[in-house]
Amino acid sequence: MHERSALVIGDRLYLAVGDHVACLSLELPYGQIWSTRVDTATCFGVYWDKKREALISHGELEIARLSLHGGLIWHASGADIFSEGFRLLPDYIEAVDFNQAIYRFDYATGEAVLR
């Protein structure tokens, strides 16, 4: 499974670090801008959907959407760990858990999308 543990948007670097997503400045003065806990265990990756301006974290136990300022917009979980797949698709976010159950989350609300 390919994960994106770092992401650059403009002059900011977004990193999956432990159970957090952190934002660092790539311009002087360099440094941490914010850090937000996004999962109770581990954050596997951080992703950007340009069309929706959605910063999405793929955690072991939770999928979350953050604002570019570090605010938690929503988070959602499943029955087991999200270890078997993760994709940003045109109409929803898809995560697959350890038992091969497929979850589809709405970009705006994090609610389950039935398909």
Q: What is the pLDDT of residues 58-87, one digit of tens each?
A: 999 999 999 999 999 999 999 999 999 999
Residue 84 falls within a domain, yes or no? no
Buried b (16+ CB within 10 A) or exposed e, 70-90: beeebbbbbeebbeeebebee
In the chain, the number of structural domains is 1
Judge whether 38 and 66 are in contact, CB under 8 Å. yes
pTM, entire model? 0.93
pLDDT at 115: 66
Residue 56 falls within a domain, yes or no? yes
Residue 115 falls within a domain, yes or no? no
* pLDDT, tens only, 3-17: 678 999 999 999 999
